[in-house]
Amino acid sequence: MKKKGFTLVEIMIVVAIIALVAAIAIPNLLGARRTANEAAAKATVRSLSTAAETYATSHSGTYPATVGELAEFISSATNYCGQSVQGYTYTCTLAAGGYTIVAAPVTPGTTGNITYTATTGGVLTPL
């Protein structure tokens, strides 16, 4: 009488193949997440900078001095300035004479590798 089923060796081979595929795929997925975080941070800094420049255009060259004033042109400013979102911490230094917006990774190397800075005039600099 023959029994049907898998032997222990066959099951171990399948588990080893699954582990190998996971070992290859997981680092790629983490890299994709880091790249997505960086792209989102760059877009957010650019949007906040554009809103500050638009504010200055509408207010005779005076830049927003508070996040509330910046929020007049981009409502999400309060969601980002001084907050950690999607692996990046956003710092908004605002004054009537200019601004600096910085997006720094919460955990460098894991959530992102690049720090983005936008300064008065809309200059975006990756570091």
Could you tell me the residue ranges of all domains in the chain? 8-126
Provide the b/e sequence for 66-105 (b: ≥16 CB within 10 Å). ebebbbebbeebeebbeeebbbbbbebebeeeebebbbbb
**C-alpha–C-alpha distance, residues 85 and 103, integer Å:** 10
Kindly give the confidence (pLDDT) of every residue in the chain, 127 residues in length, as a single tens digit, with 9 standing for 90 and above.
677 888 889 999 999 999 999 888 888 777 888 999 999 999 999 999 999 999 999 999 899 999 999 998 888 888 999 999 999 999 999 999 999 999 999 999 888 999 999 999 989 999 8
Residue 5 per-residue DSSP state: S
**C-alpha–C-alpha distance, residues 25 and 46, integer Å:** 32
**According to the model, what pLDDT value does residue 1 have?**
60
Pull the structure tokens for residue 54: 């638009």
**According to the model, what pLDDT value does residue 16 have?**
95
